[in-house]
């Protein structure tokens, strides 16, 4: 049994990715109860009372470990001129959908780095696993979080990020490759590492003292086995769990995930202000054109992106729906989460044999 499973008492070296907006507490509990590590995306909860309530509900639902995921990006300062330029560019798209853009932009998902009230909730709740995305907490926050005894995970996409996370004192690294769906954990959104998952894993394993968890494009037990052979102690799967009945994916999103032949995916910044991989749609194809102005910063741009998606839904235009997915989407399976964990475990054993 590897260090990851031993430390957390797991039977399967597997994390269900947090997937803000798609994962649910029910999904996390089902995965953890099945012997893997479920994840709860706390980034959408900016009010301490709401986070405390959710963590209490999770603790009441299972005594198994659950990973609480936090966004740790640099806060986005107000930039009215930049925001206005982006909103002006988007106005014709809103007009075509019989709508208008928001009058101004603001952060949709404030950074944990700037929310000490959420830190107090986590210190009080003492979750067994806490993970960081888009960067690292402040030094003072990390010191406080270590007092909880939680296993601290940092998502990294380059060797430099891994070295920074190791120096900060986290316990394990989540090495996320370019195949991953949704927003990768890149510290600097202006830099695209463009490194494949297994290549990144093989690069980090010999150059860090920390256990490495592979993430991005992994969909089945054979993928998990390949990650372990590359030196990882576990794999993190997101798109594989998005089609589970416990997820919050809409019926149209589920149908797109399961579509055969598989629908293509692409990276884009125009939806949120950060590179993210999803199923190709009109938003990507028509908005992300050569000569467009610089996208507003994350997560200010996301306010406009969400408004444009809502306008499209109101107008009955499905082509703007945001459906995050990794490159392995063609192998998604609509299985209950616990059954999927058992299936992955059996496939892993077969592949390793």
pLDDT digits (tens, 9 = 90+) for 44-81: 898 999 999 999 999 999 999 999 999 999 988 889 99
Residue ranges making up the domain that contains 228: 3-75+110-244+333-352
* 65 and 128 Cβ atoms separated by less than 8 Å: yes
- End-to-end CA, the chain: 15
Dist CA 314 CA 239 (whole Å): 27
Dist CA 20 CA 182 (whole Å): 9
Residue 145 lies in a domain: yes
pLDDT averaged over the chain? 96
pTM of the model: 0.97
Question: Is residue 1 scored above 80 in pLDDT?
Answer: no
Residue 19 lies in a domain: yes
**Alpha helix stretches (DSSP H) within the chain:** 3-8, 25-33, 48-61, 80-96, 116-125, 139-146, 159-168, 197-204, 221-229, 239-242, 251-257, 282, 300-314, 337-352
Q: Is 176 helix (H, G, I), strand (E, B) or coil?
A: strand
* β-strand partners of 132: 70, 154
Confidence of residue 2 (pLDDT cuts 50, 70, 90): confident
* β-strand partners of 70: 132
Residue 188 lies in a domain: yes
**pLDDT given for residue 76 in this prediction:** 86
Question: pLDDT digit string (tens) for 13-56?
Answer: 999 999 999 999 999 999 999 999 999 999 989 899 999 999 99
Question: pLDDT digit string (tens) for 118-130?
Answer: 999 999 999 999 9
Where residue 213 sits, what CATH number does that domain have? Answer: 3.20.20.70
Residue 318 lies in a domain: no
Residue 136 lies in a domain: yes
Question: pLDDT digit string (tens) for 242-301?
Answer: 999 999 999 999 999 999 999 999 999 999 999 999 999 999 999 999 999 999 999 999
For the segment 86-97, the average pLDDT, to the nearest whole number, is 97
Residue 270 lies in a domain: no
**Closest by Cα among 260, 266, 267 to 332:** 260
Residue 134 lies in a domain: yes
Residue 89 lies in a domain: no
Q: How many separate domains does the chain show?
A: 1
């Amino acid at each position: 049994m590897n260090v990851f499973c031993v430390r957390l008492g797991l039977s399967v070296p597997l994390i269900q990715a947090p997937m803000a907006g798609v994962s649910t507490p029910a999904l996390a509990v089902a995965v953890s109860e099945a012997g893997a590590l479920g994840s709860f995306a706390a980034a959408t909860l900016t009010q301490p009372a709401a986070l405390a309530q959710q963590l209490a509900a999770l603790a009441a639902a299972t005594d198994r470990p659950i990973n609480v995921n936090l966004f740790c990006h640099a806060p986005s300062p107000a930039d009215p001129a930049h925001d206005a330029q982006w909103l002006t560019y988007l106005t014709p798209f809103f007009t075509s959908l019989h709508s208008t853009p928001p009058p101004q932009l603001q952060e949709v998902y404030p950074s944990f780095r700037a929310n000490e009230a959420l830190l107090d909730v986590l210190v009080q709740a003492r979750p067994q696993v806490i993970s960081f995305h888009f960067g690292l907490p402040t030094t003072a926050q990390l010191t406080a979080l270590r007092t909880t005894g939680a296993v601290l995970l940092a998502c990294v996409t380059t060797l430099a990020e891994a070295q920074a996370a190791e120096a900060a004192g986290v316990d394990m690294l989540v090495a996320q490759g370019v195949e991953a769906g949704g927003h990768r954990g890149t510290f600097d959104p202006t830099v695209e590492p463009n490194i494949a998952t297994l290549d990144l894993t093989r690069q980090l394993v010999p150059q860090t003292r920390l256990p490495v968890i592979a993430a991005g494009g992994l969909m089945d037990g054979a993928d998990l086995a390949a990650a372990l052979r590359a030196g990882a102690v576990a794999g993190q799967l997101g798109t594989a769990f998005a089609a589970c009945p416990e997820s919050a994916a809409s019926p149209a999103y589920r149908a797109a995930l399961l579509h055969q032949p598989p629908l293509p995916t692409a990276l884009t910044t125009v939806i949120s202000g950060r590179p993210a991989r999803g199923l190709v749609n009109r938003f990507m194809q028509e908005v992300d054109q050569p000569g467009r102005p610089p996208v507003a910063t994350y997560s200010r741009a996301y306010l406009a992106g969400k408004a444009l998606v809502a306008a499209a839904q109101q107008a009955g235009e499905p082509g703007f729906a945001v459906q995050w997915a990794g490159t392995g989407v063609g192998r998604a399976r609509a299985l209950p989460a616990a059954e999927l964990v058992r299936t992955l475990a059996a496939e892993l054993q077969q592949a390793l044999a």
